[in-house]
Structure 1
């Protein structure tokens, strides 16, 4: 049965309503506040991705801020990371790291994904709270069941791929055994890559990684509904971060979640409960960047979601209750013999607590054949607290941190926020060939634990809190206010010719954010003591801001299905700006960019030639010393062949002409600065990459 979502137009219009390779995850682009049905398109997707965040890269307004090989941070219309609600198999996961090296999307491999939903900007209250940028929902492959009367059946899927630019390899396996009421499944995925090469053929130091994911599933279904239990473990032995001062030396996470879905005479009922624990370590592990500074983080997430959908005479009522509990301990063991990093353990976050409880309700109404509306409200209570902290020591080299610890410990640290979200969405369909959508919302987000409770004032301590990849140092503020965004969006969609026909979608949006959590400048320093470059010391601070832009997407059939196959021109473009009320640009705002693709289908073959063009980024955040980056265009070519019913082969090349460029959202190349000296420069992008892949099912 198809899943039906009432979604929103605030940002993401794509080249097709849903995109997936036949053997890959379905990607549902919730680009319109309309009823959207999950489907698949027949063109090939990228063949050798190790990072889930890149699977959404075809959507306008969506970008990825580069981190490690499996830890990119999603950016939607200029809003990134914690400003986007991310759920993985119903679990709300929180980065347990001062550098956000383990963001939520890093906890599942692309080979394990069944579907990705993206709802951007003005999200329905049922899609999540504590966010102002949208919601990404990732779901593992659905449990496999046999048909009634077939008895027990088995299914095995194998996948493998390779990428030349970093000698990367990906492998995945899933195995299931099921009858018509019971399903047992196991999945495993492995990804590894060496440090990648840029367009000049130079190695980008400290960008290697390795990731291992395993999960088991038990599902039971009957007349009362379906009960699904999932449990898994992840191990990342190492992951380099060339735009951070630290690398990941281990990340071990375990999770379990239990979900129930049932349909009754009065409506649909869904409930889930989950638990996840992360043990995370940072330091140095490679000759490409050496050092000695152990850092340890322990984080745990737990919660539940209960919701119901009740049919009404002219629509649907949705109500729900959620709770999320996050605990965090972040400490840095002393380094024997070091005058600065000792003699005590540096306690960065002690007994950090962030609890959220929420209730919501929304009404979807079909007024007539032309008008559909959605009105919703959500109330969240957020409680945060943290225990006493300590510096490495009280000597001269630790004087700034010791004084900051005393001041922090003397404060009342508990904070309670009451957050109200409101949404009003409408769709008007005057004819079969046009729809118009209007959206208005108030969305809120409370600070994360590091924004509120990071306290160190020494330069080294401040640079250890930084998930922005900008080489600067940060300190928190206990008195930060929550962000409140008022967003207005309109989408016009003209279309014709059915599923394989033409369409044009345009989506302007505007957001005014009260108390946007940005920064104030406290001072400057020289990264790695290199006198040739400069960084800034920053305090998280509330400032009013605004973000606005336009997204455009289209599809134009050029050749109908025939002896030469079918050809279509697809693409999208996005332009966005973000500024502070008191002047200056916001950080990590993607410049004007466009994706043009020529898609060809002929029998078992499906191919794509695409060009991604990005304009010069000269609207930069001067407070963070964000680098200016030049414009560029990258050419890609991909093809897929369905060799047999259950065998699919893929091949492709990215950055065909080996263009040297800098990622506008990649931050700065810190590992290169430490090893090579000179000036601090933007992080280089990936050079030419040949990719091969194969998927087999039996």
Structure 2
């Protein structure tokens, strides 16, 4: 706690001079009553759906537990999401037990898939959520607008171009700083200035943390340092017209308690061009187009953030450098006629992957690059929403994709390489996706419900085709043998809203044919060997939430998420399925200050498939349940400034999530798999300034 006190003392030096600018309680209440914008002082502990299967949240708002610098921790406030912990940051997102490219992840409508064959730099590693205006999640195969696959869901981090418009010269600024336990230290700046003809926007952040301690006081290797910066220039010659040019860069490093190497570099370079015409007066209402270029240059080594372990499979200094260049674009138009709205368009994406490695510190930089894969996808889509009557709406979508992958490896076989029999081969697949959903508002009742069926065909991704040491039994390799994965899923849900109660529930049941499954076995001194196969699977589960407004200023809430999956070929459990997860919240908000409590209760997971999983993680064993209590508070210093504070894991519980990596022997973890514990008691303080 001395570390927390020191952080708070340092912050008093910053906050003290601001007291003169503090607004009176009367001023705040007057602004609230008149409907004027006020900086929200509520700390986000959970997110409810805005539309059927659609969750929208502001990533700039403070959250509890305090998220890491990556996007995965922000998603965990949405019921149904979890993450495979790597260390302190760069967790890999999991929705309803589904992982990887089953989740379509976009930033500003562009893809940044990452380069590491084991997803050390998964797509969300390159996302700084607080520099975006919106986080939008669509669960299940219930949209076709945003790219191929997406059998589990679609995740979009958006910057709102309309928020950058100015009727007259002006400036808008959102800035925040966070300090906390274990050396946590973040700064974020998002500033835009402009006039009626255009704008300039700068979004930047820096984040760092030391190794954290778990509830038993043990240090967990988990430190990180990151920065990102993005700039945009927009031309707005008329209302509804936009031309925007953007560029961005970033880098960082991260220690991983569960890996044999750390991330020594996460270099990012991004460019984008966006053209939009909205508010048209005819049947055609809007046209939007964008192109993007994203480049990831990632270095993994065992010597920058740790010392090589002489007893490991990598006893000497070693580094691997991988990069991935992804380019693409999208164009879509929306038409509206009477009760029908149609959105149609096309998108394309091309990705080149390279690698190089060497023994010795920095020796990889002298090695030539070797291209191992070229991947591309071109698709066309149409989505139609039909207002059938005042209380009923039907939504339909269809999509066709042409996927192409070329194997450029000269050697294959993972830890035991040999000449690659598929060198130079190209695979081409035509994929179909679609859904139909009905939404209904019950007459004279605060109830709405929906039911939808979706079908998604997904091309095996880079990690599935190229990362495994072995393909299915009897195959040359995974590239030659893996078929597209097909998901058919029913999603249903209901929402109930009154002035005092908001309640919602959604459930799903699906069948996945040719589910891609990894199996791990001991490889002796070479560590674990991975093989990949395909099985048929059943999945089902659901999420629910309720919020009671007990009095004008009090709220009591709860959410629960449950996922279940079965390998139909064997009747056994499918691996990497999170256990039942429930959250209970109590909050008070009087527009001047707020306070809240979060109790998270997680059940044990007895349905496991030890040794099986995905390209990142595997089931280790059954797990027990746990409960964690956290407290938060916030205070509005002025109409533009607020201060929030929290203590996560108040009781300093020692616990580990079911989805987890085994601790690396490099850091003293035993040979028998041991899960990485979560942080113990963690204090944090966040100052937010918002100038509109």
TM-score, normalization by structure 2: 0.85
8 Å contact kept, 1:388–1:409: no
- Counterpart residue number, 1:525: 523
- Does residue 243 in structure 1 map to residue 236 in structure 2? no
8 Å contact kept, 2:204–2:230: yes
8 Å contact kept, 1:513–1:545: yes
Q: SS at the partner of 2:206?
A: strand
**In 2: Cα distance, 1:43 partner to 1:602 partner:** 17
Deviation at 1:156, TM superposition (A): 3.4
**In 2: Cα distance, 1:35 partner to 1:94 partner:** 23
- Does residue 645 in structure 1 map to residue 639 in structure 2? yes
What are the residue-to-residue correspondences of 1:59-458 with 2, within 5 Å?
Answer: 59-140=78-159, 142=161, 145=164, 147-148=166-167, 150=168, 152-164=169-181, 166-205=182-221, 207-221=222-236, 222-223=238-239, 225-236=241-252, 238-263=253-278, 264=280, 265=282, 266-284=284-302, 285-287=304-306, 290=309, 291-335=316-360, 350-390=371-411, 404-406=417-419, 408-409=420-421, 413-431=425-443, 432-454=445-467, 456=469
Q: CA 1:545–1:456 in structure 2 vs 1: closer, same or farther (change >3 Å)? A: closer
Deviation at 1:48, TM superposition (A): 5.7
**In 2: Cα distance, 1:417 partner to 1:299 partner:** 22
**In 2: Cα distance, 1:507 partner to 1:515 partner:** 26
- Counterpart residue number, 2:512: 513
Among 567, 588, 591, the residue aligned to 1:600 = 588
Q: CA 1:144–1:119 in structure 2 vs 1: closer, same or farther (change >3 Å)? A: closer
Q: CA 1:81–1:23 in structure 2 vs 1: closer, same or farther (change >3 Å)? A: farther
Q: Deviations over 1:111-142 (max 9, x none)?
A: 31211000011321114322211000001365
Q: CA 1:354–1:21 in structure 2 vs 1: closer, same or farther (change >3 Å)? A: farther
Deviates more, 1:154-163 or 1:266-275: 154-163
Q: Deviations over 1:362-388 (max 9, x none)?
A: 211000012100111100010001213
- Counterpart residue number, 2:491: 489
- Does residue 574 in structure 1 map to residue 561 in structure 2? yes
- Counterpart residue number, 1:3: none
Deviation at 1:677, TM superposition (A): 3.6
Deviation at 1:544, TM superposition (A): 0.8
**In 2: Cα distance, 1:380 partner to 1:26 partner:** 38
Q: SS at the partner of 2:130?
A: helix
Q: CA 1:255–1:346 in structure 2 vs 1: closer, same or farther (change >3 Å)? A: closer
8 Å contact kept, 2:88–2:223: yes
Deviates more, 1:152-161 or 1:425-434: 152-161
**In 1: Cα distance, 2:154 partner to 2:321 partner:** 29
- Does residue 623 in structure 1 map to residue 616 in structure 2? no
**In 2: Cα distance, 1:55 partner to 1:43 partner:** 10
User: What 5-or-longer segments of structure 2 have no aligned partner?
Assistant: 1-38, 310-315, 472-476, 613-618
Deviation at 1:404, TM superposition (A): 4.3
8 Å contact kept, 1:144–1:176: no
Deviation at 1:538, TM superposition (A): 2.7
Q: Deviations over 1:308-359 (max 9, x none)?
A: 11002212011010000111012222559xxxx99x9798x73411100000
Deviates more, 1:427-436 or 1:33-42: 33-42
8 Å contact kept, 1:31–1:120: no
**In 2: Cα distance, 1:418 partner to 1:282 partner:** 35
**In 1: Cα distance, 2:233 partner to 2:194 partner:** 10
TM-score, normalization by structure 1: 0.84
Deviation at 1:412, TM superposition (A): 6.1
**In 2: Cα distance, 1:430 partner to 1:480 partner:** 46
Deviation at 1:47, TM superposition (A): 5.1
**In 2: Cα distance, 1:39 partner to 1:96 partner:** 28
**In 2: Cα distance, 1:370 partner to 1:649 partner:** 43
Q: SS at the partner of 2:668?
A: helix
**In 1: Cα distance, 2:54 partner to 2:256 partner:** 40
**In 1: Cα distance, 2:76 partner to 2:449 partner:** 25
Q: SS at the partner of 1:451?
A: helix
8 Å contact kept, 1:44–1:639: no
Deviation at 1:53, TM superposition (A): 1.8
- Counterpart residue number, 2:480: 478
- Counterpart residue number, 2:630: 636
Deviation at 1:495, TM superposition (A): 2.2
Q: SS at the partner of 1:447?
A: coil
- Does residue 685 in structure 1 map to residue 678 in structure 2? yes
Q: Deviations over 1:41-68 (max 9, x none)?
A: 9996555642222123222211122124
Deviates more, 1:268-277 or 1:31-40: 31-40
Deviation at 1:217, TM superposition (A): 1.1
Deviates more, 1:644-653 or 1:216-225: 216-225
Q: SS at the partner of 1:234?
A: strand
Among 647, 661, 667, the residue aligned to 1:667 = 661
**In 1: Cα distance, 2:385 partner to 2:73 partner:** 32
- Does residue 656 in structure 1 map to residue 650 in structure 2? yes
**In 2: Cα distance, 1:335 partner to 1:145 partner:** 49
How many residue pairs match? The answer is 628
Q: SS at the partner of 1:618?
A: coil
Q: Deviations over 1:522-542 (max 9, x none)?
A: x4235x68xxxxx75331111
8 Å contact kept, 1:494–1:505: yes
Deviation at 1:680, TM superposition (A): 2.3
Q: CA 1:597–1:604 in structure 2 vs 1: closer, same or farther (change >3 Å)? A: same
8 Å contact kept, 1:594–1:612: yes
**In 2: Cα distance, 1:56 partner to 1:36 partner:** 10
Deviation at 1:520, TM superposition (A): 4.8
User: What 5-or-longer segments of structure 1 have no aligned partner?
Assistant: 1-19, 392-399, 463-474, 530-534
Q: CA 1:52–1:455 in structure 2 vs 1: closer, same or farther (change >3 Å)? A: closer
